[in-house]
Chain A
Amino acid sequence: MRPILLQGHERSLTQIKYNKDGDLLFSTAKDHVICAWYSVNGERLGTYHGHQGALWTVDIDPTSTLLATGAADNTIKIWDVKTGKSLKTWDFPTAVKRVEFSEDGTLLLAVTEARMGFLGTLVVFPIIVDVEAQQADAPLFTITFRESKATVAAWSYLNKYIITGHEDGSVSQYDGKSGELIQDIQAHEIGTAGQITDIQMAPDRTYFVTASKDKTAKIIDVDNLKVLKTFVTDTPLNTAALTPKKDFVILGGGQEARDVTTTSQRQGKFEARFYHKIFEDEIGRVRGHFGPLNTIAVHPQGTGYASGGEDGYVRVHHFDKPYFDFTYEVERMKA
Chain B
Amino acid sequence: MPDTSRANWADDEEFDDPTVLPPQQVLSNPDGTKTIITFRFNDAGKKIKTTRKIRTTIVKEHVNPRVAERKEWSKFGAEKGHARGPDLSTTSVGENIVFRPSSNWKSSNKEESKEEDSLRDQLKDKKVACRICKGDHFTARCPFKDTLPPLDDVAASGAGAGDSGNAAEDVGGLGMTKGSYVAPHLRGKKGAGETMGGGNFKDRDDLATLRVTNVSEFAEENDLRDMFERFGRVTRVFLAKDRETGRAKGFAFISFADRSDAARACEKMDGFGYGHLILRVEFAKKSA
Contacts and interface: CB of A to CB of B under 8 A. Distances in A.
Interface of A: 1-8, 21, 23-24, 33, 37-38, 41-49, 64, 82-84, 248, 274, 276, 279, 281-288, 315, 317, 319-320, 322-323, 326, 328-329
Contacts of B222: none
15 contacts: A2-B93, A2-B95, A4-B93, A7-B89, A23-B70, A33-B78, A44-B86, A44-B91, A46-B77, A49-B78, A284-B99, A284-B105, A286-B97, A287-B97, A288-B94
B77 A3 contact: no
Contacts of B79: 44-47
Contact of A49 (B77, B93, B101, B103): B77
A33 B100 CA distance: 35
Contacts of B100: 284, 322, 326
Nearest to B68: A23
Given A21-B64, A23-B70, A44-B79, A281 B84 contact: no
Given A64-B70, A286-B99, A322-B99, A41 B91 contact: yes
Q: Which of A38, A83, A317 gathers most chain B CB within 10 Å?
A: A38
A38 B93 CA distance: 14
Contacts of B89: 7
Contacts of A320: 99
Given A3-B94, A4-B93, A326-B102, A47 B66 contact: no
A333 B102 CA distance: 17
A7 B91 contact: yes
A58 B99 CA distance: 29
Contact of A284 (B63, B93, B95, B102): B102
B106 A281 contact: yes
B67 interface: yes
A283 to B, nearest CB: 4
Contact of A46 (B66, B80, B98, B102): B80
B101 A283 contact: yes
A7 B89 CA distance: 7
B96 interface: yes
A283 B77 contact: no
Given A21-B66, A42-B86, A47 B101 contact: no
B87 interface: yes
Contacts of A37: 91
B92 interface: yes
Nearest to B63: A23
A299 to B, nearest CB: 13
A7 B99 contact: no
A6 B91 contact: yes
A45 B75 contact: yes
Contacts of B78: 33, 44, 46-47, 49
A32 to B, nearest CB: 12
Contact of A4 (B76, B94, B96): B94
Contacts of B23: none
Contacts of B84: 43
A45 B90 CA distance: 11
Most chain A CB within 10 A, of B93, B96, B99, is at B99
A64 B99 contact: no
Contacts of A286: 97, 99
Contacts of A276: 103
Contact of A43 (B91, B98, B101): B91
Given A49-B77, A64-B70, A282 B106 contact: yes
Contacts of B80: 46
B184 interface: no
Given A83-B76, A322-B100, A326-B101, 19 more contacts: A1-B96, A1-B98, A2-B93, A4-B93, A6-B90, A7-B92, A23-B71, A42-B90, A44-B75, A44-B78, A45-B76, A46-B79, A49-B77, A82-B76, A281-B105, A283-B105, A286-B99, A322-B101, A328-B103
B85 interface: yes
A2 B94 contact: yes
A228 B102 CA distance: 23
